[in-house]
A and B are shown apart, each in its own frame.
Chain A
Amino acid sequence: MLALSLVCGVGLGATGMGWGQVLRLMWAGLSGGSLGAGDVGAYTIVWEIRFPRVVLAAVVGAGLAAVGVAVQALVRNALADPFVLGISSGAAVGANAVILFGALAGLGVWALSFSAFVSALAATLLVYAVARSPLGLSPLRLVLTGTALAYGFQAVTTVMVFGAERGEAARAAMMWLLGSLGGATWPKVPLAATTVLAGWLWLKLRAGALDALSMGDETSAALGVPPHRLRRELFVVTAAVTGTVVAVSGAIGFVGLMVPHLVRMLVGASHTRVLAVAPLTGAVLLVWADILSRVLLAPTELPVGVVTAALGVPAFLLLMRRGGHALTGR
């Protein structure tokens, strides 16, 4: 399903091409084979623009979905998503400093990602410092701190956008806030993929502990899973993966919130199963959302967050109405 989606993602776009040609060019890129002079233009589109973009979409979707599961267990709140800890709004401050004021120009094409990542990390540390208490990280304090600081960061971002002189830059900043995979290049893929994969593997190993944690702190402790230590670890993993994902794609909403719920409705609450299915679901969803964002109003691109919502909301509501779900209390 994911492989098929990836091929479709490469095949569909503003410039039409035959499927045979697309497959041949993808294979040429993967195997390092040669191609004729007539294919060079198409090859550039397929290999340099679309393919990395689609792969990045899959990586980002998988990462957001996995981290969404982690955050919902971390703050014990079904409405939490990866951005509830203030990470994305923190990243937006850094990203907009680059987009609007040309900060960090010395880093060239990496300035945006780097700045977003660093400010995401700074925001995370700030949230952690404020939310911690002698009794450890309490879920409620985390949510409240994250939400409060997110409003603060958003205010800073808004002031920056209004203060910017160039209207076009403000539009670019807006686009970044809504999330986009338009800046995808091959060099961005390995780092993001490694972080997402490592984060996901860590979560998979802790699946049983996450089950225990969601039964409450006392139960968790009695089952040999110290809740405060697990929460600290979860916080670090969440921050690293979210920070990386946001750095390469901006704040793409909905995936991290809804995919975990969607998957729970399909496979049940056990984290072992949820963590096996959620990243794949997130990847497929985001690849298709990205395809639609490019094709629907071609050559204009829609923000991908708009499409994830347009695809996800009906699917989610349909499933919720059809089957029992913990959120709705049956």
Chain B
Amino acid sequence: MRLDIEGVSVEVAGTRLVDEVTLGAATGTFVGLVGPNGSGKSTLLRCVYRARRPDAGVVRVESEDVHRMAPRAAARLLAALPQESAADFDFTVTEVVAMGRLPHRERTAAGDRQIVLRSLEQAGVAHLATRGFLSLSGGEKQRVLIARALTQQPRVLVLDEPTNHLDIAHQLDVLRRVRTSGPTVLAALHDLNLAAAHCDRLHVLHGGRVVASGPPAEVLSPALLAEVFGVRAHRVRHPGTGATQFLFDPLTP
């Protein structure tokens, strides 16, 4: 399903964290959101998965405003991997992943179990099923939370820094798995090389505004990277895959 963000603004204590952002993600695409710290990526994503109501603007899945839908109905369309990974009590991994079934009606215990098992495998954490969530490492937790989001069987998946805490092998693995899992994806990524290699389209956020949009190879120009991230970037071609990759220097040595 299509995701559309139309003129979304968020203001906190007089500061505009997100300023009239408009962007979209076509059905089945993997769309990346990049930008320096504090550029408004997480705040924008929070408006999408309904942790926060935007002060202005609309978020639509297919043409429906998600903030006007019943909470559970919205959660059947939209799942998220937020940045926080708190747990007050020691749930098992299976229990955490099974929470993804909460918004669904007409559930059966057997059906749920099957879906949970499948997501555990999809996220590559089936071997952790009976472990306590609190005993996991940061990277393992992250993958379990991705499994929970997949268990929601969403049409749109919102990921806030999905590769946080992951080692390099798992970074590549998780992005590949999410890409092939089906839903339209909107992901905030801080690793520009990962973003360039995995996203169909990129939107660059700077000071709460979208300053560039398009395919990664076009958007990530050395001029833009200097302006937005304050780094000197050298564009190179990946000798194996042919993807655009970057090497960075500080602007002022």
Binding site for B on A (CB under 8 A): 72-73, 76, 78, 208-209, 211-212, 214-219, 221-226, 264, 268-270, 324-326, 329-330
| Contact pick for B99, options A73, A76, A208, A325, CB 8 Å | A208
User: A155 to nearest B CB, angstroms?
Assistant: 31
User: B61 to nearest A CB, angstroms?
Assistant: 13
Question: Which one of B88-96, B204-212, B230-238, B245-253 is at the A interface?
Answer: B88-96
Decide if A78 touches B102 in the complex (CB within 8 Å): no
Decide if A222 touches B50 in the complex (CB within 8 Å): yes
| Contact pick for B102, options A73, A208, A214, CB 8 Å | A208
Distance A221 CA – B99 CA, assembled complex (angstroms)? 12
Decide if B71 touches A225 in the complex (CB within 8 Å): yes
Decide if B102 touches A223 in the complex (CB within 8 Å): yes
Q: Tell me which residues across on chain A come within 8 A of B50, comparing CB atoms.
A: 221-222, 226
Asked whether A270 and B95 contact (CB < 8 A) given A223-B100, A223-B103, A264-B89, the answer is yes
Interface of A is mostly: loop
Question: Which one of B23-31, B77-85, B164-172 is at the A interface?
Answer: B77-85
**B110 in the interface, Cβ–Cβ < 8 Å?**
no
Interface size class of B (residues with CB under 8 A): 35 or more
Decide if A217 touches B51 in the complex (CB within 8 Å): yes
Q: Tell me which residues across on chain A come within 8 A of B76, comparing CB atoms.
A: 224
| Contact pick for A214, options B71, B87, B100, B135, CB 8 Å | B87
Asked whether A326 and B90 contact (CB < 8 A) given A216-B82, A223-B75, the answer is yes
Decide if B102 touches A225 in the complex (CB within 8 Å): yes
Interface of B is mostly: mixed
Q: How many A-B residue pairs have CB under 8 A?
A: 100
Distance A209 CA – B149 CA, assembled complex (angstroms)? 16
Distance A215 CA – B56 CA, assembled complex (angstroms)? 28
Decide if B89 touches A222 in the complex (CB within 8 Å): no
User: In the complex, what residue of chain A is closest to B71 when comparing beta carbons?
Assistant: A224
**B192 in the interface, Cβ–Cβ < 8 Å?**
no
Asked whether A223 and B152 contact (CB < 8 A) given A209-B102, A212-B99, the answer is yes
Distance A274 CA – B149 CA, assembled complex (angstroms)? 24
Decide if B102 touches A212 in the complex (CB within 8 Å): yes
- Counting from the closest, the 4 A-B pairs by CB-CB distance are A224-B75, A326-B90, A269-B89, A218-B82
Distance A214 CA – B90 CA, assembled complex (angstroms)? 10
Decide if B75 touches A222 in the complex (CB within 8 Å): yes
**B177 in the interface, Cβ–Cβ < 8 Å?**
no
User: In the complex, what residue of chain B is closest to A222 when comparing beta carbons?
Assistant: B80
Q: Tell me which residues across on chain A come within 8 A of B134, comparing CB atoms.
A: 326, 329-330
Distance A268 CA – B84 CA, assembled complex (angstroms)? 22
| Contact pick for B72, options A217, A224, A329, CB 8 Å | A224
Q: Tell me which residues across on chain A come within 8 A of B91, comparing CB atoms.
A: 211, 215, 268-270
Distance A76 CA – B86 CA, assembled complex (angstroms)? 10
Asked whether A224 and B102 contact (CB < 8 A) given A217-B51, A269-B95, the answer is yes
User: B119 to nearest A CB, angstroms?
Assistant: 14
Distance A214 CA – B88 CA, assembled complex (angstroms)? 5
Decide if B78 touches A222 in the complex (CB within 8 Å): yes
Distance A240 CA – B85 CA, assembled complex (angstroms)? 32
